[in-house]
Amino acid sequence: MVVVTGQNKVSGNPDDAMSSSDAEDDFQEPATPTATQAGQALPLLPQQFPEVVPLNVGGMYFTTRLSTLRRYEDTMLAAMFSGRHYIPTDAEGRYFIDRDGTYFGDILNFLRSGDLPPRERVRSVYKEAQYYSIGPLLDNLEDVQPLKGEKVRQAFLGLMPYYKDHLERIIEIAKLRAMQRKARFAKLKVCVFKEEMPITPYECPHFNSLRFERSESETKLFEHHCEVDVSFGPWEAVADVYDLLHCIVTDLSDRGITVDHQCIGVCDKHLINHYYCKRPIYEFKITWW
């Protein structure tokens, strides 16, 4: 019995078979180049865009002029539609951008006529403007609420040593206690104080003078750590303890953490003579579900 392999069949009749070079030429000319082949191929010609551009941004459809997308030169959109980069299209021929399109309409409205989004969408549009590198929109958004107020708030928090670290500590302690006790919530004590030196009814009227008259050795007599889980302070600014408490609760809430707090007294640690600590102590209750 004679067995004829595919190789023998091809080589057995050279007149009926393609040459190896012809076969390679056919193989190297697919209808649609793969990503690997495209990288090795010659550079593509600049992509041409119509004057009216249909867009598919993460499944949401938009239509705008090409000049709108190129409004500001130093933006990602201007670079994408400059012709130097290849933009894929969907089945309907719309140019596809793989990004959530929820706030893309606000981006287009600014590029068209300089309109800014409503206050409730400012933060989200700001993130999109960062992604698309639209500097003029970022500058405009930073001058309106709530971002303008956030810049002031961050300037205040910049005076607070280890603020973010303390937030993380609150979360970790509350999570650990809730897991250990298999409880829905956890409580912890937080001290928030603005002044480094203690304030008592005897000291209030002359606090500044007394503060600077104390020697270094006397000052050390007032140094101590309150018996709490986390302590914030001191700082030098007009903003007071309630302002910082608002910041703490706001930042925890932004991370999806439900928190309640109340003042449960002051630190009564005796320091020297008639001086006591008197820093306010707050009980934080964090609910996990």
Q: Of the candidates 118, 144, 170, which is a domain's last residue? A: 144
Q: Could you tell me if 163 and 283 lie in one domain?
A: yes
Are 118 and 178 in a shared domain? no
Residue 172: which domain range?
Answer: 159-201+225-287
Beta carbons within 8 Å of 184's beta carbon, 6+ residues apart: 178, 287, 288, 289
Residues 186 and 138 in one domain: no
87 and 127 both lie in a single domain: yes
Domain's final residue, options 101, 116, 144: 144
Residue 7 located in a structural domain: no
Domain assignment present for residue 187? The answer is yes
Classify residue 209: in a domain, yes or no. Answer: no
Q: What is the pLDDT of residues 22-46, one digit of tens each?
A: 444 444 444 444 444 444 544 455 7
Q: pLDDT by residue (tens digit) across 159-193?
A: 988 999 999 999 999 999 999 999 999 999 999 99
Which pLDDT does position 50 carry in this prediction?
94
260-275 mean pLDDT: 83
Clarify whether residues 248 and 185 are in a common domain. yes
Residue 191: other Cβ atoms inside 10 A: 21
124 and 191 co-located in one domain: no
The reply to whether 270 falls in a domain is yes
CATH of the domain at 73: 3.30.710.10
Q: Are residues 75 and 186 in the same domain?
A: no
* Cβ neighbours for 240, distance < 8 A, ≥ 6 positions apart: 194
- DSSP for 129-189 reads HHHTT-HHHHHHHHTSTTHHHHHHHHHHHTTSTTHHHHHHHHHHHHHHHHHHHT-SEEEEE
Residues 6+ apart with CB under 8 A from 25: none
Position 41: which residue type?
Answer: A
- Looking at the fold, whether 174 and 278 belong to one and the same domain comes out as yes
The residue type of 52 is V
What is the C-alpha separation between 191 and 95, in angstroms, rounded? 55
Per-residue pLDDT, 195: 77
> Residue 221: which pLDDT band, with cuts at 50, 70 and 90?
low
Would residue 66 count as lying in a domain? Answer: yes
Q: Give the number of domains in the chain.
A: 2
Q: Per the domain annotation, does 22 fall within a domain?
A: no
- Regarding whether 245 and 191 lie in a shared domain, the answer is yes
Residues 262 and 165 placed together within one structural domain of the fold: yes
Domain boundary among 102, 119, 144: 144
- 194, part of any domain: yes
Residue 169 sits in the same domain as residue 104: no
Q: Are residues 194 and 111 in the same domain?
A: no
pLDDT per residue as tens digits for the range 54-96: 999 999 999 999 999 999 999 999 999 999 989 999 999 999 9
Q: Can you give the pTM of this predicted structure? A: 0.66
Quick check: is 34 in a domain?
no
